[in-house]
């Protein structure tokens, strides 16, 4: 059963991640935006019934926005390892697609 949403091509192009999807759409995701929207619990904070904590104030460096490696995880997501060592961010395809469809942030 093929995933309805799957990239057929993922490339790093300069400071963007370019994804071509099976249905023909293309996403160009600035690496900085990807990192700032990292979906992992460490970056986004985590709430459970008993505890709530807010994410620490983030301390980004130039390396925080450089991709060291990419890996497909479980056929539904991309795991991005950043040059500063952060590797817990797993980006579901649907999330990547929604990020790509937002208008680009002002520079």
Residues that bind Zn ion (CB under 5 A): 38, 40, 42-43, 89
The C-alpha atoms of residue 107 and residue 82 are separated, in whole angstroms, by 22
**Least spacing, CB of residue 86 vs Zn ion, in Å:** 6
Closer of 31 and 38 to Zn ion (Cβ): 38
Closer of 18 and 40 to Zn ion (Cβ): 40
Closer of 8 and 42 to Zn ion (Cβ): 42
- Cβ atoms of 98 and 11 within 8 Å: the answer is no
């Amino acid at each position: 059963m093929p995933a309805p949403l799957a990239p057929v091509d993922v490339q790093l192009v300069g400071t963007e991640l370019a994804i071509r999807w099976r249905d023909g759409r293309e996403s160009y995701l600035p690496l900085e935006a990807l990192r700032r929207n990292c979906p992992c619990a460490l970056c986004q904070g985590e709430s459970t019934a008993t505890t709530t904590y807010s994410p620490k104030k983030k301390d980004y460096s130039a390396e925080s926005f450089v991709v060291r490696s990419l890996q497909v995880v479980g056929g539904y997501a991309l795991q991005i390892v950043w040059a500063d060592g952060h590797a817990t961010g797993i980006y579901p395809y649907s999330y990547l697609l929604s990020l790509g469809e937002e208008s680009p942030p002002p520079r």
